[in-house]
Amino acid sequence: MSVKISDYPSVKDPSKYEGIAKTFDMTSSYGFEADIITYGALIRSLKVPSPKTGETVDIMLGLKGLDEYMADGSNHGSVVGRSANRISGASFEIAGVKYSIPANDGPNNLHSGNPAYQNVFWEGSVLSKDDTDKMIADSGIAGIAEADGESVLLKYTSPDGACGFPGNLKTEVLYAWLADKTLLILYMGESDKATVFAPTNHSYFNLGGHDAGYVGDELIMINADQITLKDEFNCPDGRISDVEGTDFDVREYSFMSQLIESDEPQITMSSGIDQNFILKNPEGTFSFAASLTDPKTGITMETLTDLPGIQIYAGNHLGGDMQKGDKPYKPYDAVCLEAQMFPNAVNIPDFKSPIIPAGEKIYHACGYRFIE
């Protein structure tokens, strides 16, 4: 794999972000491409071949340029954190100390606030294959294949008190193509105080192409027998429910329309699917979480992770005219497969805790593997 680095300037003010706005074009030995930018550590494009036509398809929704990414609140392709998803009451406690964070989603906190991972510039560099494989090994997460070549490492330190969270949180995000046709996202967090570390990637996928429209005809399968239930403010409250006998049962391939158009109250309250599924993965192992396939292109993408949950979201509120192509995006034109800690886990003792101790490096991984 090779990495090409270039500037990614603002159109409105080309000199304003000179030296910090960069794009990394990652091309694998098997021809797949991912384009990463330093703003939001986000994936700008993801190009893979269609097994049916042989044509290259950009399956990543995105925006026109840097100015649009900085103005948009949809987190296209971004690494989101420190804490992805919702925290009830916009507050939590660590060791008896209460922390208040921005209430930016009704009474809840959503995706941490600002400044957060998704709305800052990261420092980017290229890692050799040897250094990439070493970081993968250092993570201690079993089941990750070796790197295909060079990779991209992005770094950002979230300062103590940012959005109300404690601790100077040093974060690294590794993007690497692996030998088994997986795009790996490896997260590392280390703080000088106990804090919340619960990142995710907020990519919007359409395996028919970023401008192919409604995803209801794509097929999804999720390795989950249960979901976390949400309260009236769309935030998990500690209850869980079996998927058996409900529209949430997609343990075998089912049309996405089942999750988008369902009259299940947990779905209609969110204007479409926006739910955390409880994965059956062995702890500490990079293993199968979900699969998505498009019947027209024949592209099949598996999501793998060591994290305990995956949020399925169908772009229920997509819109506007900032899209990278000519065709505006609409609600339900994409699927987000967000491997994550459970939402609101910091306030629910029965959920795996997202709190990391001071001075300890914590790793999590997500990957998107393409099956021919």
Q: Same domain, yes or no, for 231 and 188?
A: no
Is 206 domain-assigned?
A: no
125: its two tokens = 């560099």
The C-alpha atoms of residue 80 and residue 112 are separated, in whole angstroms, by 8
Is 208 domain-assigned?
A: no
Given this model, what pLDDT does residue 273 score? 98
End position of a domain, from candidates 143, 168, 201? 201
Is 214 domain-assigned?
A: no
- Domain count across the chain: 2
End position of a domain, from candidates 201, 230, 251? 201
Is 141 domain-assigned?
A: yes
pTM, 2 dp: 0.98
The C-alpha atoms of residue 181 and residue 372 are separated, in whole angstroms, by 10
Average pLDDT in the chain: 97
pLDDT for residue 1 is more than 80: no
Give the confidence band of 204 by pLDDT, cuts at 50, 70, 90: very high
Peptide bond into 49 cis (omega under 30): no
Give the confidence band of 244 by pLDDT, cuts at 50, 70, 90: very high
249: its two tokens = 């049962």
Is 133 domain-assigned?
A: yes
Q: Same domain, yes or no, for 29 and 151?
A: yes
pLDDT in tens, 274-330: 999 999 999 899 999 999 999 999 999 999 999 999 999 999 999 999 999 999 999
pLDDT for residue 126 is more than 90: yes
Is 82 domain-assigned?
A: yes
The C-alpha atoms of residue 167 and residue 192 are separated, in whole angstroms, by 5
Per the DSSP assignment, residues forming a β-bridge with 220 are 254, 292
CATH number at residue 137: 2.70.98.10
Given this model, what pLDDT does residue 372 score? 81
Given this model, what pLDDT does residue 23 score? 98
Q: Same domain, yes or no, for 112 and 255?
A: no
Q: How many residues are listed for the chain in this entry?
A: 372
pLDDT for residue 155 is more than 80: yes
> By the 8 A CB rule, do 180 and 53 touch?
no
Given this model, what pLDDT does residue 45 score? 98
Is 137 domain-assigned?
A: yes
Per the DSSP assignment, residues forming a β-bridge with 313 are 274, 336
Q: Same domain, yes or no, for 312 and 358?
A: yes
Contacts 24+ apart (CB under 8 A), 125-134: 125/152, 125/153, 125/155, 126/3, 126/5, 126/24, 126/150, 126/151, 126/152, 126/153, 127/151, 127/152, 127/153, 127/174, 127/176, 129/1, 132/174, 132/176
- Residue span of the structural domain in which 128 resides: 2-201
Q: Same domain, yes or no, for 280 and 324?
A: yes
The C-alpha atoms of residue 79 and residue 87 are separated, in whole angstroms, by 17
End position of a domain, from candidates 201, 229, 260? 201
The stretch 85-103 carries a mean pLDDT of 98
Is 212 domain-assigned?
A: no
Given this model, what pLDDT does residue 17 score? 95
